[in-house]
Structure formats: structure tokens, C-alpha cells
Amino acid sequence: MTGLNEEDLKKHVKDKDTWLRFIYLVVFGVAFYLSILLTFAASIFQFLAKLFGGSAFAGLSEFGGNLATYQGQVTRYLTFASDEKPFPFAPFPAKSADVSVPQVGTRE
């Protein structure tokens, strides 16, 4: 970043795209927080399924992987590593080939 004069500063502060990005940051920050709560709830449910049923649910395991991908997308957007807005502005992540998650005693 080079020296910033007063005119550039006024231009940047008045930039509507920057303020819109701020609104998205707040919304996706809340979404990320809620996704963490959802992750915790799914993990407790999976633990109970494993404890009482002997295995976790495969569908919930897959959802957990998709949720982790979503959380990564949100993190990249929040940190300006990406300009692509995650769900609901894009499809919710489906099972990704780039994420290899070993299955631990799952059932259908």
C-alpha cells in the first residue's frame, strides 16, 4: 500500500462496494458462528449414535464434510482471500473430491 492522500481516503471511505462488503462480512460472520453451533450439535448427535448404536450416520458425516467446506468458503470470504460469496449466494457445497475424510464406523 502506497502513501494515502486525503482525496484517496475520502474516495475509499465513500466507496459503496466497500460498505456493502462490510455488511456481507457481518452477515457471513453470524452465519459462520451458527455453522459452528451446528457442527457441535452434529458431533454430539454422532457421538450418541456411536455410543448407543455402535456407528455414526453416514449421511450426517457427509453433511459434516460439506459444512466444513462451507466454513472454509466463509473464512476465505471473510479474510478477503476470495471475492466469491458462499451460500446462499452460491450453491451449498456438495461432497467434494478435494476433501478426503476417513469414515469412522458409519451406517446408512
Per-residue model confidence as pLDDT tens digits over 52-62: 998 999 999 99
Mean pLDDT of 35-42: 96
Mean pLDDT of 50-79: 93
Q: What is the pTM of this model?
A: 0.76
Would the pLDDT of 99 be above 60?
no
With 0-12 / 13-18 / 19 or more C-beta atoms within 10 angstroms meaning exposed / middle / buried, residue 11 is exposed
**What is the Cα–Cα distance from 43 to 17, expressed in whole angstroms?**
38
Q: What is the DSSP letter of 92?
A: P
Question: What does the block give as the cell for 52?
Answer: 448407543
Confidence of residue 23 (pLDDT cuts 50, 70, 90): very high
Q: What is the DSSP letter of 54?
A: S
